[in-house]
């Protein structure tokens, strides 16, 4: 059970904005109300300036955590660096790669080691939190990053019993208000993205 669902079930919180819809999808006790922000996973490098410069047989570091790894592979697929099996779904693995024109060599690392891999690897896929901790901003430093409307946008979630409550509608409206829209752009400079 996810962090948000446990805290919601324990009535420690009334709502959560800390997780994405995919993490909450399998639980009928939680209700996904609306997306809030997307923390984009990005592709970073220190040796090259654009994704078209990724060298043949270059090493690519992927997050070891399964969800982040799937997101990284889908992003590489999106930029045409690899081709994934059509049936791989939203959580592909390295074994689902069916086309690798640059013969990239993949290896997985724990989140804490990803930033250090920038020194040795041609390309490193980093979730937002890892990049942020390393002082990297996706909009400024990433060679490629996820779109705001990926399925992993964080969502406002509440207990299923509260789904139609008036306060939930008001809370959703507060997160989608014009000042919040301005705040997201001004504070995060597109490194945290708005999916609504």
Would you say 144 and 45 are in contact if contact means Cβ atoms under 8 Å apart?
no
User: What is the contact mask toward other proteins in residues 87 to 126, using x (rule: CB under 8 A)?
Assistant: ----------------------------------------
Closer CB to other proteins, 39 or 44, in the complex = 39
Structure tokens at 179: 């000042």
Q: How far apart are CA 97 and CA 143, in angstroms?
A: 21
Interface with other proteins, residue 48, by CB under 8 A: no
Interface with other proteins, residue 14, by CB under 8 A: yes
Three-state DSSP class for 125? Answer: strand
Closer CB to other proteins, 3 or 98, in the complex = 3
Residues 126-185 that bind other proteins (CB under 8 A): 129, 132, 154, 166-167, 169-171, 173-175, 177, 179-180, 183-184
Q: How far apart are CA 26 and CA 114, in angstroms?
A: 29
Q: How far is the CB of 11 from other proteins (least distance, A)?
A: 9
Closer CB to other proteins, 84 or 184, in the complex = 184
Interface with other proteins, residue 187, by CB under 8 A: yes
Element counts in the chain: helices (H) and strands (E): 8, 10
Pick from 16, 22, 38, 108: which binds other proteins (CB under 8 A)?
16
Would you say 162 and 14 are in contact if contact means Cβ atoms under 8 Å apart?
yes
- Among 98, 96, 39, CA closest to 68: 39
Q: How far apart are CA 125 and CA 42, in angstroms?
A: 6
Would you say 15 and 161 are in contact if contact means Cβ atoms under 8 Å apart?
no
Instruction: Give the residues lining the site for other proteins (CB under 8 A).
Output: 3-4, 6-8, 10, 12-18, 36-37, 39, 129, 132, 154, 166-167, 169-171, 173-175, 177, 179-180, 183-184, 187-188, 192
């Amino acid at each position: 059970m996810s962090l948000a669902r446990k805290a919601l079930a324990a009535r420690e919180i009334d709502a959560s904005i800390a997780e994405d819809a995919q993490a909450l999808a399998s639980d009928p006790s939680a209700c996904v109300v609306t997306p809030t922000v997307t923390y984009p996973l990005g592709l970073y490098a220190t040796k090259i300036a654009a994704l078209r410069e990724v060298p043949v047989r270059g090493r690519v570091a992927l997050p070891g955590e399964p969800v982040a790894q799937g997101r990284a592979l889908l992003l590489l697929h999106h930029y045409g660096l690899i081709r994934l099996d059509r049936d791989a779904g939203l959580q592909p693995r390295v074994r689902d790669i069916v086309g690798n024109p640059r013969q990239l060599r993949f290896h997985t690392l724990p989140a804490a080691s990803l930033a250090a891999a920038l020194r040795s690897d041609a390309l490193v896929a980093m979730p937002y939190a890892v990049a942020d901790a390393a002082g990297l901003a996706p909009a400024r430093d990433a060679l490629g990053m996820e779109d705001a409307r990926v399925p992993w946008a964080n969502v406002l979630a509440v207990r299923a019993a509260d789904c139609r409550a008036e306060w939930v509608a008001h809370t959703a409206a507060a997160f989608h208000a014009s000042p919040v829209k301005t705040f997201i752009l001004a504070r995060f400079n597109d490194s945290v993205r708005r999916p609504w």
